[in-house]
Structure 1
Amino acid sequence: MARRLNQIADHLQANQTKMSDTIAPERFEATPLAPPDSIFKLTAAYKTDTHPNKINLGVGAYRDDDSKPWVLPVVKKATQLLLNDPTVDHEYLPITGLPEYTAAAARLVFGKDSPVIAEERVASVQTISGTGANHLGALFLSKFYGWNEKRVYLSDPTWVNHHAIFPQAGIPAATYPYYDPQTIGLAFPAFIDALKNAPPRSVFLLHACAHNPTGVDPTHEQWGAVADVMLAKGHYAFFDSAYQGFASGDLEGDAWAVREFVRRNVPLLVCQSFAKNAGLYGERIGALHIVAPSKEGAARIKSQLSVLARAEISNPPAHGARLMSLILNDEELFEEWKGDIRTMAGRIIDMRKELHRLLTEELKTPGNWDHIVNQIGMFRYVGRARSHGPWGPDVGVSGGRAGVG
């Protein structure tokens, strides 16, 4: 037996030598090295930094007073309920997600009494958080939208990943004016002009609340003007809703823009995430909701979303969906969740006020710092390229965004 095994080994070694002499050149040797993601690069640098007073202002995640992640009490409670539920298994979810979850998520953003809910005109699917919703929405529009000019308009600035998501789905991206560095506020006249001058039936990505990265939101009156122009031009609203409730502490108030656009019959979809407002960052739980003109139209849209999702992820993950389904559908848990949201949003608002007080009253820092309390959400934005200062080049996110949570 040993002799036979040695013969086989010698034969394989000889064949391997022959193959190595004729093997083709490396197929991917021309692949360029991609730059690292700036935010995750900063997080990695923070973890390895040994400075005793280090603070990570780049992370897009809520932290407590000790700079530690905060698991919401309601999430802990829902997790325990799932652990104690003998019916919970690890089988596949439907391609479009957990039905009880997607239905509740739609009610949350549109309102339980919304006509589009009552008339079953919303095609809802579970996604891999907000990023997955943006990507799936982009894929759907790329394939089925009646384009005059295939292009999506993104606010300048916007969440950096928007610039990657749409081209990956075959949709070139352009920008529209949004932030005015002179006022550290909304460039509203230029925003309206961009809407008016864009080709009819253009797609505009809009941040539903707590604009990332600026924290500058339109007023209700300004949102109404935006909706009027979009309706007149036949534009399509691609809403990214990553901070409902987390922005102001009020789930209803933070959904105002989406609901007003629905009321005015502006065609739209909504990308939804529960990363921030439920602290479920790693569970990657989100949803895509596309409003259709009819119940039949919603069914057709959902069928195509199912085809796209099947090719992308086959089936969505179950745990985060089950957690949010419990929280959204159980009255007691839902009320507790709203309290947790108020805790997070309230602390961020208080942090803004205290930072403003320290800069203006205690430190007497030159300049106007009112933007700190005027902006909303978890980021403070000044729209300036980062200054390295004495600490080196890896201490901030390019563009002037800094976390205040």
Structure 2
Amino acid sequence: MSWFCDVELGPPIEVFALTKQCTEDTFEQKVNLGVGAYRTNEGKPWVLPVVRAAEKALANDETLNKEYLPVLGIDAFSSAATRMLLGEESPALVENRAFGVQTLSGTGALRVGAEFLARNLGKTVFYYSSPTWENHKLVFKNGGFLEGREYRYWSEKTRGLDIDGFLEDLRNAPEGAVIILHACAHNPTGCDPTEEQWRQIAEVVKERKLFPFFDSAYQGFASGDLIKDAATVRYFVQQGFELFCAQSFAKNFGLYNERVGNLTVVLNNAELVAPVKSQITLVIRGMYSNPPSHGARIVSYVLSNPDLYNQWRDNIRTMSSRIIEMRKKLREALEVLGTPGDWTHITNQIGMFSYTGLNEIQSLHMVKKHHVYMLRSGRISMCGLTPSNVDYVAKAIYETLTTLS
């Protein structure tokens, strides 16, 4: 007899199972388009030069020790991260009604924010885009929310944003519901609203008294421009919204395994900062007590050093430019082959991921026949494309669509 005999086998996490399958594949031309991590033109992981420089400096700093951090983390880090998101002249910062909290990457920021909203504000309903990053649902449910609902986002017909469906679903949302919004480079579609569409979204969010919770996983990484990629969050702040924003430094600093994140909190009254901070402290204390230091110290060191900061901005431009170039090359290769369909969406999308338009059967065919590893949804990571494999991938897509139309 075991206490655990009734525990059911959980479903595999698709992207990690796909990576394992790819790693074990001996086919020489295999391509991993599943994992959401930057790769060089040679298909290799890249540790940013500024990260190497910061690590060397920190290793030589004899004043640093291994003592526990405060529950809310390194203040210099969270302050710098919040300024990076909101801008130095943000009215929320000038009026001392915004602050940041160090978390375990963007996922941790979402989890801490969700639990606070459920426990302290009594929030029970959250909305996420259809489709969205699959972990949003699990994180918010585990954080205490009772019901997750979808709002329409992706149109299979146009391979673009379904803004009418998006707005209609928000208009039908109950007052006070939490709406998860992707700040830029929507995961998994790579399809973002225009400035005008964001204004429409903000109007409905305000009209229905919804609470915006932004997920900012790609600031700077998406376009190469930190300000452009933060424009939507800054617009909402300027419009007077109270909001949360989960920031991740996995992509834009390449610190995937260091779990460096920040939860930015924007309130409408500076007097509310102390009580909100105190309750977030209790959430974290009961969850993981306090965060790790290494990755946060790297980010803080770079953001506070003008020379390294400028080098880092060059690094993120390098990454975003390579992805943009791969989008162009994939589209060109598909069009040269005469691949069925319109492929303009490949270059219209932005960021790490692309929703190709391939269905589940076609995506599985890509994996089984061509060893091109991609999600069942048709999502691919553009970072897995390189100058040496982009033509192979294009030919695989061509064969798949002409065989399984």
Structure-2-length-normalised TM-score: 0.91
Task: Return the index of the structure with the highest Cα Rg.
Answer: 1
Q: Does 1:356 align with 2:334?
A: no
* Paired position in structure 1 for 2:129: 155
Change in 2 beyond 3 A, CA 1:81/1:29 = same
> Is there any run of 5+ residues in structure 1 with no aligned partner, and where?
1-24
Q: Does 1:95 align with 2:71?
A: yes
Match of 2:368 among 383, 389, 392: 392
Q: Does 1:142 align with 2:118?
A: yes
Partners of 1:209 and 1:391 in 2: how far apart?
29
Partners of 1:224 and 1:331 in 2: how far apart?
34
Q: Does 1:179 align with 2:157?
A: no
Given that 1:134 and 1:165 are in contact with CA atoms closer than 8 Å, whether structure 2 keeps it comes out as yes
Q: Does 1:305 align with 2:280?
A: yes
Match of 2:39 among 63, 67, 92: 63
Partners of 2:153 and 2:328 in 1: how far apart?
25
Identity %: 47
Q: CA deviation at 1:382?
A: 3.1
Match of 1:318 among 293, 304, 307: 293
Match of 1:229 among 204, 211, 215: 204
Given that 2:98 and 2:265 are in contact with CA atoms closer than 8 Å, whether structure 1 keeps it comes out as yes
Partners of 1:53 and 1:390 in 2: how far apart?
13
Partners of 2:178 and 2:304 in 1: how far apart?
33
Match of 2:221 among 233, 246, 268: 246
| Bigger mean CA offset, 274-283 vs 260-269 | 260-269
Partners of 1:74 and 1:229 in 2: how far apart?
41
* Paired position in structure 2 for 1:285: 260
**What letter matches 1:358 in structure 2?**
A
Partners of 1:339 and 1:32 in 2: how far apart?
48
Residue-by-residue CA offset, 1:120-179 (whole Å, 9 max, x unaligned): 2113211000110110110000012254xx210000000011111111112121110011
Aligned-residue Cα RMSD (Å) equals 1.3
Change in 2 beyond 3 A, CA 1:400/1:390 = closer
Partners of 1:389 and 1:359 in 2: how far apart?
17
Q: CA deviation at 1:79?
A: 0.8
Q: Does 1:105 align with 2:52?
A: no
**What letter matches 2:81 in structure 1?**
A
Residue-by-residue CA offset, 1:298-336 (whole Å, 9 max, x unaligned): 121111111110111111000001000001111111111
* Paired position in structure 2 for 1:43: 19
* Paired position in structure 2 for 1:10: none
Q: CA deviation at 1:391?
A: 4.8
**What letter matches 2:202 in structure 1?**
A
* Paired position in structure 2 for 1:122: 98
Given that 2:346 and 2:356 are in contact with CA atoms closer than 8 Å, whether structure 1 keeps it comes out as no
> Is there any run of 5+ residues in structure 2 with no aligned partner, and where?
384-405
Partners of 1:227 and 1:298 in 2: how far apart?
24
Match of 2:247 among 261, 264, 272: 272
Given that 1:181 and 1:382 are in contact with CA atoms closer than 8 Å, whether structure 2 keeps it comes out as no
Please state whether the residue corresponding to 2:354 is helix, strand or coil: strand
Q: CA deviation at 1:72?
A: 0.6
Q: Does 1:86 align with 2:86?
A: no
Partners of 1:123 and 1:75 in 2: how far apart?
25
Partners of 1:120 and 1:198 in 2: how far apart?
31
Residue-by-residue CA offset, 1:82-102 (whole Å, 9 max, x unaligned): 111111211111100000000
Q: Does 1:166 align with 2:140?
A: yes
**What letter matches 1:303 in structure 2?**
S
Instruction: Give the number of aligned pairs.
Output: 378
Match of 1:371 among 322, 345, 352: 345
Q: Does 1:210 align with 2:197?
A: no
**What letter matches 2:168 in structure 1?**
D
**What letter matches 2:365 in structure 1?**
G
Please state whether the residue corresponding to 2:289 is helix, strand or coil: coil
Please state whether the residue corresponding to 2:166 is helix, strand or coil: helix
Partners of 1:371 and 1:41 in 2: how far apart?
28
Given that 1:277 and 1:341 are in contact with CA atoms closer than 8 Å, whether structure 2 keeps it comes out as yes
Change in 2 beyond 3 A, CA 1:332/1:386 = farther
